[in-house]
């Protein structure tokens, strides 16, 4: 069954920083838009008011002079730099600058003034922005037009817009840094929780979190410590139970073993059916005794009382001796030339690993067909045992190293289900690991790595 791939998401710290940045972006842009719109409206309104006031003042001057002198010189009017005026007197245009005429003003404004009204209009002339003011002087049969430049106002608005955008950018950067700082500060307790949980998972059951100044975070630390206390208590209770049960079983198992050995020594005096029953009892008692010994060994490992004692050994001498001691003297042994003459290993643990692998091959793989040792890298030695059995299914290759686990091919075979678990524990004590793979030609190849052997 294929496990669906988990969708990858951004880290929580990154999401917090992005949230701060987006919030600052939204707020700063919104504030910038409102500020710019308000400033623009105010500055344009002020400019239009100023233009209207100056235009009406000039128009009054023109009217007064026309009514008294019946003539007026437009050049005498004081206008803004960059602006221009046109006086339409008795339908004849007069301009202070020959470059300008009635065509320089919007036709809509000219039409409005010609119909007796007055008004103003924003427009562009030759690519420059202006405010045009048109005033009808009915008493003198004249129309006055004046254009005021908007260039300075537009420049000021662009400067304001640039300043607001720069301010928004600075605000976003500041918010991003604030988000990163805040997320790091907020997630620091979670990092400590993750670190403590990892140490507990690695076997450090006495690891606890320190108290926090913040009440909410202190509640998290207290809850975690209470959980760790409960887990430690339960694990220690279960470990003590397994150890106590194993110790209590040693005496009756020893007595039972002695009794069945006596009966087995006089098997010739028993009838055939009794011999078959005796064989079954002997095999099961021995299996039970083996299981109790394995449980005791695992209990010592769980309690941390079994230390790693490295010493220099010669694998070319030790491996054949162990194989001979456990009845596998005929199994071919292949030790690579890359393996040093002396390696640093825990001799007892190494013997236990090799013996369990050989026993496992005999019980579940028919018999071991080869034992080998080789170097991988400068400081890692690998020990392997091959068999010609049915092999191990891929889905079971990691699970068979768990306690009391059995592969599907070994469901009905004799064994305690603890041998490979002990192999994995002793390999981990050496800084290595245990695994299984297919053997070329059929069967399984069980491998164990040992770190820092040289």
Q: Which domains does the chain have, with CATH numbers?
A: 14-157 (3.30.450.20), 215-303 (1.10.287.130), 310-450 (3.30.565.10)
SS3 313: strand
> What is the C-alpha separation between 386 and 367, in angstroms, rounded?
9
pTM here is 0.50
The answer to whether 113 and 135 are in contact (CB under 8 A) is yes
CA 328 to chain centre: 50
pLDDT at position 7: 60
Instruction: Quote the pLDDT of residue 131.
Output: 93
| pLDDT given for residue 206 in this prediction | 77
Contacts 24+ apart (CB under 8 A), 51-59: 51/120, 51/131, 51/133, 51/146, 51/148, 52/120, 52/133, 54/80, 54/146, 54/148, 55/120, 55/133, 55/135, 55/144, 55/146, 55/148, 56/133, 56/135, 58/85, 58/144, 58/146, 59/135, 59/137, 59/144
**Which residues neighbour 60 within 8 Å (Cβ) at sequence distance 6 or greater?**
none
Which run of H or E residues covers position 225?
helix 215-265
The token pair at 423 is 């192999």
What pLDDT shows up at residue 308? 83
Selection from 333, 331, 236, 293 nearest residue 422 by Cα = 293
Rounded CA-CA distance 454/452 in Å is 6
Distance (Å, whole) CA 155 – CA 162 = 11
Residues 247, 292: Cα–Cα separation, whole Å: 8
pLDDT tens, N- to C-terminus, the chain (454 residues): 444 555 666 776 777 777 777 887 788 888 888 888 898 889 989 988 999 999 898 888 888 888 887 677 777 777 788 889 988 888 888 887 888 888 899 999 999 998 989 999 999 998 899 999 999 988 888 899 999 998 888 888 889 888 888 888 888 788 777 777 777 777 777 777 778 888 877 767 778 888 877 777 778 788 888 888 888 787 777 666 666 666 666 677 777 777 777 777 777 777 888 778 877 877 777 776 766 666 666 666 666 656 788 999 999 999 999 999 999 999 999 999 999 999 999 998 999 999 989 988 888 777 899 999 999 989 999 999 999 888 888 888 888 888 777 665 555 455 567 888 889 988 988 999 999 999 988 889 999 999 988 8
| β partners of residue 434 | 448
Nearest-angstrom CA–CA distance, 401 and 132: 92
Cβ distance 387 to 439 under 8 Å? yes
List CB contacts of 212: < 8 A, sequence separation 6 or more. 189, 218, 220, 221
CA 77 to CA 326: how far, in whole Å?
123
**Closest-CA residue to 400 (of 363, 355, 434, 438):** 434
């Amino acid at each position: 069954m294929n496990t669906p791939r988990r969708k990858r998401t951004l880290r929580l710290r990154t999401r917090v920083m992005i949230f701060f940045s987006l919030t600052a972006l939204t707020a700063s842009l919104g504030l910038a838009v409102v500020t710019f719109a308000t400033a623009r409206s105010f500055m344009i309104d002020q400019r239009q008011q100023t233009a209207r006031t100056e235009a009406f003042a000039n128009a009054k001057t023109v009217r007064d002079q026309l009514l008294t002198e019946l003539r007026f010189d437009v050049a005498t009017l004081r206008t803004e730099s960059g602006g221009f005026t046109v006086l339409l007197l008795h339908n004849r245009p007069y301009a202070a600058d020959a470059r300008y005429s009635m065509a320089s003003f919007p036709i809509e404004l000219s039409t409005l003034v010609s119909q007796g009204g007055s008004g103003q209009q924003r427009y562009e002339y030759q690519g420059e922005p202006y405010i045009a003011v048109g005033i009808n002087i009915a008493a003198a049969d004249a129309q006055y037009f004046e254009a005021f430049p908007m260039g300075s106002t537009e420049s000021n608005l662009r400067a304001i817009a640039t300043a607001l955008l720069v301010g928004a950018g600075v605000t976003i950067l500041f918010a991003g840094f604030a988000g990163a700082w805040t997320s790091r500060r907020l997630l620091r307790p979670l990092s400590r929780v993750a670190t403590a949980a990892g140490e507990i998972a690695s076997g450090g059951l006495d690891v606890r979190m320190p108290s926090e100044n913040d009440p909410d975070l202190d509640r998290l630390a207290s809850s975690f410590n209470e959980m760790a206390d409960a887990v430690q208590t339960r694990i220690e209770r279960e470990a003590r139970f397994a150890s106590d049960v194993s110790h209590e079983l040693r005496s009756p198992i020893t007595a039972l073993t002695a009794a069945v050995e006596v009966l087995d020594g006089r098997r010739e005096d028993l009838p055939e059916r009794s011999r078959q029953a005796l064989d079954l009892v002997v095999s099961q008692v021995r299996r039970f005794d083996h299981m109790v010994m394995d449980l005791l060994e695992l209990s010592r490992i769980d309690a941390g009382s079994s230390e790693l004692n490295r010493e220099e050994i010669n694998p070319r001498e030790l491996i054949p001796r162990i194989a001979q001691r456990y009845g596998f003297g005929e199994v071919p042994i292949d030790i690579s030339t890359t393996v040093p003459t002396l390696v640093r290993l825990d001799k007892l643990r190494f013997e236990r690993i090799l013996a369990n692998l050989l026993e496992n091959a005999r019980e579940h793989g028919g018999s071991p067909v080869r034992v080998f040792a080789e170097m991988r890298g400068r400081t890692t030695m690998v020990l392997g045992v091959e068999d010609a059995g049915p092999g191990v299914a891929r889905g079971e290759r990691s699970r068979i190293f768990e306690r009391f686990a059995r592969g599907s091919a070994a469901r009905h075979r004799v064994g305690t289900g603890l041998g490979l678990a002990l192999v994995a524990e002793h390999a981990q004590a050496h800084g290595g690991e245990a695994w299984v793979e297919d053997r070329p030609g059929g069967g399984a190849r069980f491998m164990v790595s040992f770190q820092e052997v040289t």
